[in-house]
A and B are shown apart, each in its own frame.
Chain A
Amino acid sequence: MKTFNYHTPKDIKEASKLASTSSAFLAGGMTSIPSMKLGLATYKDIIDIKHIKKLSGIKVSGKTVTIGATTKHAEVANSKDVKKAIPSLAKLAGGIGDAQVRNRGTVGGSIANNDPSACYPSACMALNAIIHTNNRKIEAAKFFKGMFETALKKGEIIEAVVFNIPDKSNYQKHPNPASRYAIVGVYLAKYKKEVNVAITGAKPVVYVDKDLSKALSNSFSVSAIDGIKLDSSEMNSDIHASGDFRASLVVTYAKKAVEAC
């Protein structure tokens, strides 16, 4: 790994000031450290944001669950408040990678990285999340731009993610047997007036499937989506699963999610 300068700013202002075109923030390091070791990324400055107290913690109010950016997956998975307000979100966090990844990896790191097979982006999309940064509030739908690409600007820090508590929800994933990343992940959230079915792993970037969401908004039942055939032309195809297989998995796991609601 190439050398860098390690910084531990005490507050968000200082962290943001340290940022440049050759810096990266360090949260759990579960993605950034291996990618630096593999030479996929090099930085002059590594800005560790874990010492900024304000960035960590879980708050549940009447309608929302707010998770601080540096809150670890294990904390979300074990939180009584999250389990009560949005059980599927705790389940998603508890199914990420393995125990050691969950003891370090963070929600902010996960969504800033925007891996096409990451779990959290699907929760953000389905639960109409608002991503709070040090400069602005970004709707999930406008945050995830493309493969490993987000709306974040240089030096912009995610402070927290605010999820809207649904009436019912569920997350189902077909995990890669080695890493547990989603080959396909389906996050379903049902609100009074709408149903959102967000899909990760299937395409280069997370998305809400309009056909499945509409069918389930009209009638919230397995039969409403039984037989739906999705267009596989834009789906990822790799050694793990072909595009056609992913298209079929999405519907299968969407049905499972409806059943589990």
Chain B
Amino acid sequence: MTKVTIEVNGKKVSKDVPDHTILSVFLRDNLNLTGTHVGCDTSQCGACVVHVDGKSIKSCSTLAADINGSKVTTIEGLVKDGKMHPMQEAFKKMHGLQCGFCTPGMVMSAIDLLQNKKNPNDTEIREWLEGNICRCTGYQNIVAAVKEAASKM
């Protein structure tokens, strides 16, 4: 067992978990934060993307013990004072989702893109979202949503 102490969405949490506990499992099963989705479970699809110390990573391929002491932000942590994050607003406005399965990962990944590049063009958006797979939308509206968010952030 390992004691994992991390800050999740601004709150400190501390739990004893088996050493092989994966971060996505820790978030979903131990903390009940089921907004982080698990698609492929083997680092291909990006549904599980969260931020660790501000950077986007795939939580299905990271051990909870490995990020001990870090700050984690999940899709649940984006809402401030009951208001959605501009990226969430943009996905809603531009119809950047259909079933919504890929959306938490898309949103977390896209926010990291805008941290690295303020006004990305279509190609840069598509390249950055390389690791996020969506089987519904055809990506057009996702790209439009990211551009919309970039103009607001």
Q: Tell yes or no: B131 within 8 A of A by CB.
A: yes
- Which residues 129-157 in A have Cβ within 8 Å of B in the complex? none
- Of B6-14, B61-69, B78-86, B134-142, the one contacting chain A is B61-69
Q: Tell yes or no: B58 within 8 A of A by CB.
A: yes
Q: Residues of B contacting A99 with CB < 8 Å?
A: 56, 109, 112-113, 128, 130-131
Q: Tell yes or no: B49 within 8 A of A by CB.
A: yes
Q: Tell yes or no: B121 within 8 A of A by CB.
A: no
Residue with the greatest number of chain B CB neighbours at <10 A, chosen from A2, A4, A99: A99
Q: Residues of B contacting A168 with CB < 8 Å?
A: none
- Contact, CB under 8 Å: A103 / B56: yes
- Which residues 27-58 in A have Cβ within 8 Å of B in the complex? 29-30, 33-34, 37-38, 46, 48, 50
Which single member of B55, B65, B131 contacts A98 (CB below 8 Å)? B131
Q: Tell yes or no: B100 within 8 A of A by CB.
A: no
Give how many B residues have a beta carbon under 8 Å from the other chain's beta carbons.
28
- Contact, CB under 8 Å: A33 / B55: no
Q: Tell yes or no: B57 within 8 A of A by CB.
A: yes
Give how many A residues have a beta carbon under 8 Å from the other chain's beta carbons.
27
Which single member of B55, B56, B63, B130 contacts A29 (CB below 8 Å)? B63
- Contact, CB under 8 Å: A29 / B19: no
Q: Tell yes or no: B148 within 8 A of A by CB.
A: no
Q: Tell yes or no: B144 within 8 A of A by CB.
A: no
- Contact, CB under 8 Å: A104 / B2: no
Q: Residues of A contacting B61 with CB < 8 Å?
A: 29-30, 33-34, 104
- Contact, CB under 8 Å: A6 / B62: no
Q: Tell yes or no: A239 within 8 A of B by CB.
A: no
A-B interface contact total, Cβ < 8 Å: 78
Closest B residue to A104 by beta carbon equals B57
Q: Residues of B contacting A104 with CB < 8 Å?
A: 57-58, 61-62
- Contact, CB under 8 Å: B20 / A3: yes
Q: Tell yes or no: A228 within 8 A of B by CB.
A: no
Q: Tell yes or no: A179 within 8 A of B by CB.
A: yes
- Contact, CB under 8 Å: B57 / A100: yes
Q: Residues of A contacting B63 with CB < 8 Å?
A: 6, 26, 29, 33, 46, 48
A248 to B65, alpha carbons, bound, how many Å? Answer: 46
Q: Tell yes or no: B98 within 8 A of A by CB.
A: no
Q: Tell yes or no: A97 within 8 A of B by CB.
A: yes
A59-101 near B? 1/0 per residue, CB < 8 Å:
0000000000000001000000000000000000000011111
A contact set with B: CB distance below 8 Å:
1-6, 26, 29-30, 33-34, 37-38, 46, 48, 50, 74, 97-101, 103-104, 178-180
B contact set with A: CB distance below 8 Å:
2, 18-20, 22, 41-44, 46, 49, 55-58, 61-63, 65-66, 109, 112-113, 128-132
28 A-B pairs within 8 Å (CB atoms) are namely A1-B22, A4-B19, A5-B19, A6-B20, A6-B63, A6-B66, A29-B61, A29-B62, A29-B63, A29-B66, A33-B22, A33-B63, A34-B43, A34-B61, A37-B42, A38-B42, A46-B20, A97-B131, A98-B46, A99-B128, A100-B46, A100-B57, A101-B58, A103-B55, A104-B57, A104-B61, A104-B62, A178-B44
